[in-house]
Structure 1
Amino acid sequence: MKTDANVVHLNKVAPEHSPTSPAGRLPVALIQVRDKAAQQLKQALQGLFDNADDTLFEMADRAASNAEQNAFFEAMRDLRLKRKTIERGFLQKVFESFNTLNQYEIGRPAPQVEGVSFESLSLVQDDVLEESVALDAMVSRVISRDGVSLGHLTTRLNAMISKKLEDKTNPLGPRVLCEQFLEACEGLGVEIRVKLIILKLFEKYVLTDLGELYAAANQQLVEAGVLPELKSAPPARRQPGRSASASREAREEAAGASAAEAAGYADEGVQEVFGALQELLSQVRGTSVLPRREVPADALPISSNDLMRLLSHMQQRLPASQVVDDFDLRNQLENLLSRASAKSGKARVVGEVDEDVINLVAMLFEFILDDRTLPDSLKALIGRLQIPMLKVAVLDKTFFSRGSHPARRLLNEIATAALGWSAQGDEQRDALYQRIEQVVQRLLNDFTDDPAIFSDVLAEFIAFTGDEKRRSELLEQRTRDAEEGRAKAEMARQQVEQALNERLLGRTLPEVVVRLLQEGWSKVLQLTSLKHGAESAEWLAALVVMDDLIWSVELHESAEDRLRLLELVPSLLKSLRDGLASAAIDPFVTSEFFSKLEAVHVQAFQRFKREMAEAESTAEPVEQEVEDRLVELGVGPLLELPPVELDAPAEAPAMVEVVEEIVLLAPGETRPQEPEVNLPDDDEALQNVDSLRVGSWVEIQEDEEHKLRGKLAAIIKPTGKFIFVNRTGMKVMEKTRMGLAVEFRRGAIRLLDDALLFDRALESVIGNLRKLKGT
């Protein structure tokens, strides 16, 4: 064995890949293995990136939608921009993994590099799960193909270093390389399906040649005297006369021709999720949930094709009036098999894999039919899809793991559309109910063994719900606009009420003035507030007119006030007429108001003349200015005032004292009374309200028998109102934050879970199986 070396030569790879810090002292032979492996890995990565564009372009060319096509084009662009960064990051991690081979890591837990564990199987993070399953599948294929060579390499490395290695922690092992590549790709902003394709390309261009890499590394170490007695299997022989570049070209050609294979890689990888589910089922078999079957010793399992025929037989004979709660798929199938066995004289049972599928689908539908989010009236319809869904699952195990599976999407789309459905009147006439019934009946009648029917039915159902959604969104927008308009009107009304009460409450004024302000000028003020706002010059001018009117009917003793009144009345009457006309007040009502108001003003002027006449009779000086102004004033009947008789008392106008706050309501309108409750901010009911988002669905208990479903369409900020609409977009309820909290507290309102139905069902099944496993 050669001596250790402190100098590391990296010129064969690239200077940017040198380690960032000095490593533990590595043997020269190990450094040579590292450098040669890094060179091969770099060339393989270049092949990956050189062909990634072609693969992604073909995927984009076959995309089913513009959005999907754009996702692939964006991935191509992102990959080009970050190619160098990914290459450099990957090779840097390869060097770092070698540099730590002679370094102990004190106090650091061993890395968890195992495959998918049942405890970590979470449907909340489907992307992570699919990525992990894909990685496990890739590693398994390398181990099954090149496991012996890898094991010998690990043994030789252990003979040269102080830290104990295993195949899964070998710096050139498939798991470490895959994880390092994933870490280097963290900066890619791509969807999981694109990442899975890139992983497939990594397997095709990098992992495929690991056997040659291991063979070369083992040979290098044998030549260096490291365990020469350990005989490694020779690497797979290439065809005579075939160069390395020719081999690479063949792989590239194969890769280009198998873009569809890369696209289907997600299916290939996530099928292993079904294996994880099977393992969970096996651990609870024999419990009350899955009692063990009493199988005769000579019983033969039927094929999946035979099972499909039995299911089709049940499907065609499923009664239209079948009560879902009374239908037990497993018992029905068992009875059919028993009758078939009796006729043939041979005991037949369902195979273990198919039995697991049956159990999983039955558990899923048990959740679905118990789900409180799904309307009871539609459960019977959706429950009839159990056999078609089971047949799909028998044909394609990715039904359990691929969110884009057409059958799974159809179930989710139906449940999403049904979220806002409420049974009212004749449900058979409801368009959504009829469409779901048509979907169910078509699948029962036409689905035999070709799952393509689900794609067709899904497309038709999405088109139907899309039309409904567009209509409801249009009406919903109108509802929002109307409510926002109402909120602005309510705010304006409150501002006017405040202005009126500040000026009138507690005062005694002529009845005509109070009525004019409350019934007429209040509308002028509301209109001004809506058009110009409560801070505008127009609003302030309208308040001045109101203040002047009130002042004009009060008693005034000083000559200055009398002169001001004489000056004010003509312009005041004009402002009042113009304002009431702009608010479209009934002209007959306006005429009545002015007739009575002028009488009030005339009485005031008559009082002025009487006082002047009394002053003359008592030889008191007459206020000549006031008298001249009365003569000059040319307003209506003031020039035609009858002669003043000193003994004739002036007729007093009808007066009214404003003792209650003015509330502006239309005839027959009432203001809803909110509950006089003040809940603390940490109250659970208030937290439920605050967790609502626009689009959230709730179920409203109208009375003991009737329930209504509503979607939060808007939260009107000026009034704090929560506006709910039904699935057609029509308003069904409005509540304040506190009023809504009270309804939550007494159980009259319940938040509906709008997460995808199938995903929630599968998550529940996995959670229940885990619990049973732990008991």
Structure 2
Amino acid sequence: MHNSGLPGSDINKSSPYSAVAMSEQLVIQYLKHCRDLTRGFAYRVFPNFWRQWCKQVLEVAEQAKSNKDQIALYETQNLLAAVQQAAEQEFCQHLANGFVKFKNKSLNTLTGEERFSGDILSLVEHSDLEETIAITSITHRADNFFAEQLWALQQRLALLNDGEKIDERANPASPVQFCESLRKLLANLDIDVKTKIIGYKLFDQDVIGMLDGLYDELNDYLIRQNLLPNLRFVPASDKPADHKTDEAMQDDPFERNDGSVDEQQQVEEEQQHQRRASDKLLSGALNPNDIQYQNSLLNAIRLLQTHVTQALPAIQAAHFNPQAVVAGQAANSPVINPNGAVVATPAVPTASPANLQVYTQNQLVSVLEQMQTQAFSVTQQVLANHESGPVPIAPQMVAEVGRKMMEQIASENENGAVEAGDMQTIDLVGMLFEYMLSDDHLPDSVKALLSYLHTPFLKIAFIDKGFFEQPEHPARVLLNSLAEAGVRWVSNDGSDQYDIFTKIKTTVFRLLQEFKNDVRIFAELLIEFNAYTHNVARRQELMERRALEKAQGEEKLREAKIQVNNEVRGRTDNRDMPSAILLLLLQPWSDYLSFVLLRYGDKSDSWKRALQVIDDLLWTLEPKTKQPDKVKQMELQDGLLAALERGFETIGYEQAKGRKLLDAVVSLQRMALLSRKAEPAPAPMRTKLESLAAEKAGHMVAQLQPVLPEEAKIVDSLKMVEFGTWFEFDGGKRLKVAWYNKKTQHYMLVDQQGRKVSLAAGLQLARDMLAGRARIIAGSTKPFFERALENIYHTLNERADTLKTGNTS
């Protein structure tokens, strides 16, 4: 008997991706440990690789044929040696970011070869091509060499991915992730391609070649967490996968996939729903970037449509007998599926089936032309008088489009009817727009505006059969671009940036007004719209980069002040302090320490001397009873006062205030020599001085308050948030995480124009989320149209399951 309550219990050995109940906190805990193991491995092997690379470049330089080449190589070697530590940290950070992307289901690292195919190849820089070939060669060899360990790791990581199968592109510890991390690192260094190729060869040997140790560590850890502990390697050629042809699958999309499995597997499979051949779409057998994936997805959708509508007549009348309509349903109203799209007409037609006149696709396009004109008129009336900014407009509901279409056909011909195949097209476009209206990514104003494109997109589906089949079809790409621009630059609070809403509105108006039967209008509008948004994107990225650089500078200063405050408080807490000394240490000397720390670092002699001044000063204020201590103090005093004075001058501290503090120091030291204890600062004054210093150092008030368990859980999960994640705050304002400082736990939030809005503490964000004042807008790297098709597939799959269960019962 299986214990399904354990994280990795083998609930179904024939399906290692069976959904397993696992808390979000547990998933994050496992991923963070795997990330730390991966980063630890990188820190162990990277320095040796980099040193070997420097050594190799030096050897090549010594054998150079010309002085020019030799000098260039020496400069390269010096550069590599100088940036080794920074390179190591950046490399490990890229690897760590891969685990964040994996958690957000956005990790899909390509080797690069996919970009260099077809006609694009002639446009690729030779250096890029050489680097891509090197990476591809390394990853292919490594994937084969570590096949068994990688396979096992990916089965176990799938359990941390909601049971969805992953491949090397989505595996944050796969060889391609290491190569991609190096590629990103080298992109920021001025190194010629020949030197890079030397580096990749050594990288293959000294880093990639050592990965078996890491994979053993990762698999052992996940096994200890009881994630598929009894997993056995199944080579690809031995898997009981689908061996049927596509034609066979189309004949019976719900046929059982028995394959050649052992008796135990057969018994377990009997307990599951019958598998569909189209399920391989979700198993990872096809990559979402492949055109084959798109075509297979569309074929599966059409097969499912046929299945769920098989009980309906092949020809469906558009004109109904109102008396035959089910009680409570309006006359002339078609049946609407769960997504709101038209799928059938249940009422009895007034004419016999033999007299029904089926509308051709040209006639349907003509009907849609009239509806398109009406849609243009509606949007004009509501939006034309608003020159800029999002304005409220009621969305065009999917059911309304279907109803109007049937009414229009019935008004033209009382015996008018629509074939089942054309009804499926109407249904499919309807589900596309129903998904759009439910998409959290899109602001409501953009959803409503784009909903009026339902009619022209239904027209293009009838006119151009390639609309659904071709991922690069101009109409599809235009819809993707409009949706992406809406997400990126329009908020739900009624604001937009760079006049994007007006540009989207103009594009929608032109499409409604100008699209007749010539599909070239989509390409024209796409070129025009993308040219505008590309310029906007460049401006935004520039502004965001400047804001980021400024914020990083501010955060560096904040980190320094926090470190300084901690150093000073570590020496002053729990001991009596005179008011003047407390003021000196918490204000001018803290400022001087921050200056030294930023300029010279905490490993420098200057920093150590500045801290020693505090220790010496505090010692000289203690009452002295022994003659040797008095002698030592007399020797220290002059140098100590001189050091304090130099520090005040360095930061430009006001001379009068500085002299007053130094006089107080001399007076207190004199008291110490007389074995007298100075009067401590009053408690209220001390508390005020320490609070002001802590606030100035950047300790947020929220951080000083007790943290509740649910707050801590969200703070922890926020550490996995990827740069580029959008938050929506009260009132609909959208802000993006542009950067996160793990030392201060501050998130830099920018608006849709790229301007910095705030540096928010993680705890404050967590509290806003718990209070409902903020929410994360779930992100996706996939284009809108692809997300919509996948959603339609899942919806139809669920309907097929429901239909099957109903028939069985």
The TM-score, its normalising length taken from structure 1, stands at: 0.57
Amino acid paired to 1:730: R
Equivalent of residue 409 in structure 1, options 477, 484, 491: 477
What residue number does 1:749 align with?
775
> Is the CA contact 1:711–1:725 (under 8 Å) kept in the aligned structure 2?
yes
Amino acid paired to 1:331: R
Q: Secondary structure at the match of 2:702?
A: coil
Distance 1:475 1:444, change over 3 A: same
What residue number does 1:300 align with?
357
Cα distance in 2 between the residues matched to 1:737 and 1:365: 36
What residue number does 1:418 align with?
486
What residue number does 1:662 align with?
690
Deviations 1:77-119, CA, capped at 9 Å, x for gaps: 9999xxxxxxxxxxxxxxxxxxxxxxxx999899433534553
Deviations 1:17-39, CA, capped at 9 Å, x for gaps: xxxxxxxxxxxxxxxxxxxxxxx
What residue number does 2:638 align with?
570
The answer as to 2:599 corresponding to 1:442 is: no
Cα distance in 2 between the residues matched to 1:396 and 1:556: 96
Cα distance in 1 between the residues matched to 2:473 and 2:648: 66
Distance 1:64 1:668, change over 3 A: closer
Q: Give runs of aligned pairs for residues 181-330 of structure 1, distance below 5 A.
A: 192=290, 275-276=302-303, 278-280=305-307, 282-283=309-310, 285=312, 289=337, 290-292=343-345, 294-295=348-349, 296=351, 297=353, 298-318=355-375, 319-320=378-379, 321=382, 323-325=394-396, 328-330=400-402
Distance 1:772 1:506, change over 3 A: closer
Distance 1:64 1:352, change over 3 A: farther
> Is the CA contact 1:712–1:722 (under 8 Å) kept in the aligned structure 2?
yes
What residue number does 2:183 align with?
none
Cα distance in 1 between the residues matched to 2:621 and 2:657: 20
Cα distance in 2 between the residues matched to 1:418 and 1:317: 24
Q: Secondary structure at the match of 2:701?
A: coil
Cα distance in 2 between the residues matched to 1:478 and 1:375: 27
Amino acid paired to 1:517: L
Distance 1:445 1:588, change over 3 A: farther
Cα distance in 1 between the residues matched to 2:239 and 2:749: 56
Amino acid paired to 2:465: K
> Is the CA contact 2:723–2:738 (under 8 Å) kept in the aligned structure 1?
yes
What residue number does 2:707 align with?
677
Deviations 1:542-589, CA, capped at 9 Å, x for gaps: 011122222333333444333333333332222111111212323333
Distance 1:589 1:657, change over 3 A: same
Distance 1:491 1:421, change over 3 A: same
What residue number does 1:719 align with?
744
Cα distance in 1 between the residues matched to 2:134 and 2:632: 80
Amino acid paired to 1:339: S
Q: CA deviation at 1:592?
A: 3.0
> Is the CA contact 2:493–2:733 (under 8 Å) kept in the aligned structure 1?
no
What residue number does 1:695 align with?
724
| Larger deviation, residues 365-374 vs 488-497 | 488-497
Distance 1:282 1:549, change over 3 A: same
Q: Secondary structure at the match of 1:535?
A: coil
Cα distance in 2 between the residues matched to 1:601 and 1:72: 72
The answer as to 2:797 corresponding to 1:767 is: no
Distance 1:69 1:457, change over 3 A: farther
What residue number does 1:332 align with?
404
Q: Percent identity?
A: 25
Amino acid paired to 1:324: P
Amino acid paired to 2:344: P
Q: Give runs of aligned pairs for residues 12-23 of structure 1, distance below 5 A.
A: none
Distance 1:354 1:421, change over 3 A: same
Amino acid paired to 1:337: I
Q: CA deviation at 1:387?
A: 1.2
> Is the CA contact 1:420–1:710 (under 8 Å) kept in the aligned structure 2?
no
Distance 1:572 1:427, change over 3 A: closer
Distance 1:348 1:110, change over 3 A: closer
Distance 1:325 1:308, change over 3 A: closer
Cα distance in 1 between the residues matched to 2:560 and 2:394: 56
Unaligned segments of structure 1, at least 5 residues: 1-55, 81-104, 132-190, 197-265, 609-649
The answer as to 2:647 corresponding to 1:590 is: no
What residue number does 1:547 align with?
615
The answer as to 2:584 corresponding to 1:516 is: yes
> Is the CA contact 1:698–1:711 (under 8 Å) kept in the aligned structure 2?
yes
Distance 1:106 1:571, change over 3 A: closer
The answer as to 2:510 corresponding to 1:457 is: no
Distance 1:331 1:713, change over 3 A: same
Q: CA deviation at 1:356?
A: 2.1
The answer as to 2:386 corresponding to 1:358 is: no
The answer as to 2:140 corresponding to 1:113 is: no
Q: Secondary structure at the match of 2:417?
A: strand
> Is the CA contact 1:121–1:129 (under 8 Å) kept in the aligned structure 2?
no
Q: CA deviation at 1:717?
A: 2.0
> Is the CA contact 2:490–2:496 (under 8 Å) kept in the aligned structure 1?
no
Equivalent of residue 466 in structure 1, options 530, 534, 551: 534
Cα distance in 2 between the residues matched to 1:79 and 1:571: 64
> Is the CA contact 2:361–2:462 (under 8 Å) kept in the aligned structure 1?
yes
> Is the CA contact 1:281–1:356 (under 8 Å) kept in the aligned structure 2?
no
Cα distance in 1 between the residues matched to 2:628 and 2:694: 40
What residue number does 2:437 align with?
369
Cα distance in 1 between the residues matched to 2:238 and 2:576: 90
Cα distance in 1 between the residues matched to 2:790 and 2:595: 56
Q: CA deviation at 1:366?
A: 1.5
Cα distance in 2 between the residues matched to 1:79 and 1:695: 28
| Larger deviation, residues 663-672 vs 460-469 | 663-672
Cα distance in 1 between the residues matched to 2:369 and 2:344: 26
Cα distance in 1 between the residues matched to 2:570 and 2:765: 32
Amino acid paired to 1:485: G
CA RMSD of aligned residues (A): 4.5
What residue number does 1:392 align with?
460
The TM-score, its normalising length taken from structure 2, stands at: 0.55
Distance 1:475 1:505, change over 3 A: same
Amino acid paired to 1:340: E
Distance 1:654 1:406, change over 3 A: same
Q: Secondary structure at the match of 1:673?
A: helix
Cα distance in 2 between the residues matched to 1:506 and 1:73: 63
> Is the CA contact 1:271–1:397 (under 8 Å) kept in the aligned structure 2?
no
Distance 1:594 1:73, change over 3 A: closer
Cα distance in 2 between the residues matched to 1:552 and 1:409: 75
Q: CA deviation at 1:361?
A: 0.8
Cα distance in 1 between the residues matched to 2:448 and 2:454: 11
Q: CA deviation at 1:715?
A: 2.3
What residue number does 2:553 align with?
485
Distance 1:123 1:330, change over 3 A: farther
Cα distance in 1 between the residues matched to 2:131 and 2:579: 75
Q: CA deviation at 1:433?
A: 0.8
Amino acid paired to 2:606: E
> Is the CA contact 2:564–2:594 (under 8 Å) kept in the aligned structure 1?
yes
Q: CA deviation at 1:277?
A: 5.7
Cα distance in 1 between the residues matched to 2:136 and 2:572: 74
Q: Secondary structure at the match of 2:278?
A: coil
Deviations 1:574-624, CA, capped at 9 Å, x for gaps: 21111112123233332332344445456778x69xxxxxxxxxxxxxxxx
Distance 1:590 1:523, change over 3 A: same
Distance 1:281 1:759, change over 3 A: farther
What residue number does 2:605 align with?
537
